[in-house]
Amino acid sequence: MKGRRQSMVPDGGCSASKMERKDVEKNRRLHMKGLCLKLSSLVPPSSAHYSSTSSSPPSSNKDAATQLDQLDSAAAYIKQLRPRIDHLKRRKQAALTGGCSSSVSAGDYKGAPSTSTALPVIEVRCQDGSALDVALASEAGRPFRLHEVIAVLEQEGAEVVSASFSVVGDKIFYTYK
């Protein structure tokens, strides 16, 4: 009996470390679940059908299967976006080497030759910590659609109080507040 009591004392120490490991594992799982939720919120719902043909066997845990589907969907979405990203990078590089510099300001923009296709200038200023002033400048032949710009700003959480534009020569200047 005495030998048995002595052997229980080390088990008590083991149970404390076992509980510690359980806590670490629980925290790890919660962290991973949070990351999966964050990832799934970044993937548009229309791309969820990519993972519906998953060849993984059905799991008894519904959450695990859902997380696997979400990860598969995110991976498929990233693979789908890769060619578009490459295309946009090539297009950006071509535009920058075609005579337009990346540091074009509104003052420089007025003097740009009208024969070359200049990139639109977008300037965002933060005022009072919460108010934004957005100024856009484009060529008259390539105007922005006011309602589309307003929709983008509102999607990002901005409240558009006023919007105006003016045409000066072959340039159009837009202001959103």
Our CA angle for 138, 144, 150, nearest 5°, is 125
Position 65, amino acid: A
Helix H or strand E segment including 70: helix 62-97
Q: Which residue, among 140, 142, 143, 103, has the nearest Cα to 123 in the 3D structure?
A: 103
* Nearest alpha-carbon partner for 147 in 125, 118, 174: 174
Q: 55-114 pLDDT, tens per residue?
A: 444 444 555 557 888 888 889 999 999 999 999 999 888 888 864 444 444 444 444 444
User: For 7-56, what is each residue's pLDDT tens digit?
Assistant: 444 555 568 888 899 999 999 999 998 988 888 888 887 755 444 444 44
The gap from C-alpha 121 to its chain's centroid, in whole angstroms, comes to: 22
